[in-house]
Structure 1
Amino acid sequence: MAQNTVSRSLHDVGLAAWFGGTLANAVALNPAASAASGARSTGAVANAGWDRWTPVNAAAIGAHLLGSVLQLSGNKERVKSQQGVASMSLLKTGITAAALGVTAYSRVLGRKVSAHADVPAESGTEPSGGTPPEVAAAQKQLRLLQWAIPGLTGALVVISAYAGEQQRPTEVKKGVAERLLGA
Structure 2
Amino acid sequence: MQPALTTTAQVLHDLGLAAGFGGSLFGKISLAPAVRVIGDKSERNKVIDQAWAGYKWVNLLSLGAAALTWFTGRTKISGRMLGKDARAAVVAKDILIGVHTVTLLGSLGLGAYIGSGSAGLVPVQEGHVPAPETPPEKARAVRALRVLSTVNLVAMAGIIGVTTFLNQRAASSWKWRALSAVLP
TM-score interval w.r.t. the shorter chain? 0.7 to 0.9
Counterpart amino acid of 1:142?
L
Give the secondary-structure state (helix, strand or coil) at the position aligned to 1:167: helix
Say yes or no: does 1:148 pair with 2:151.
yes
Say yes or no: does 1:42 pair with 2:44.
yes
Give the secondary-structure state (helix, strand or coil) at the position aligned to 2:13: helix
Rounded Cα–Cα distance in structure 1 between residues aligned with 2:154 and 2:70:
19
Query: 1:20 — aligned with what?
Result: 22
Query: 1:179 — aligned with what?
Result: none
- In the TM superposition, structure 1's runs of 4+ consecutive aligned residues that sit over 6 Å from their partners are none
Counterpart amino acid of 1:149?
N
Query: 1:83 — aligned with what?
Result: 83
1:73 Cα shift?
4.2
Give the unaligned 5+ runs of structure 1.
175-183
How many equivalent residue pairs?
172
Give the secondary-structure state (helix, strand or coil) at the position aligned to 2:125: strand
1:82 Cα shift?
3.3
Rounded Cα–Cα distance in structure 1 between residues aligned with 2:144 and 2:25:
16
Give me the identity figure in percent: 24
1:133 Cα shift?
1.4
Query: 1:109 — aligned with what?
Result: 110
1:173 Cα shift?
4.8
Query: 1:180 — aligned with what?
Result: none
- Counting helix residues as a fraction of each chain, which structure ranks higher? 1
- TM-score norm. by structure 1 comes to 0.85
| Residues 95-135 of structure 1 deviation map (CA, whole Å, 9 limit, x = unaligned) | 11011111121122111112131122211211112211111
Correspondence 1:50-65 to 2 at 5 A: 50-65=52-67
Correspondence 1:98-137 to 2 at 5 A: 98-115=99-116, 116=118, 117-137=120-140
Rounded Cα–Cα distance in structure 2 between residues aligned with 1:28 and 1:114:
20
- TM-score norm. by structure 2 comes to 0.85
Give the secondary-structure state (helix, strand or coil) at the position aligned to 1:86: helix
RMSD: 2.0
Give the secondary-structure state (helix, strand or coil) at the position aligned to 2:33: helix
Query: 2:182 — aligned with what?
Result: none
Give the secondary-structure state (helix, strand or coil) at the position aligned to 1:119: coil
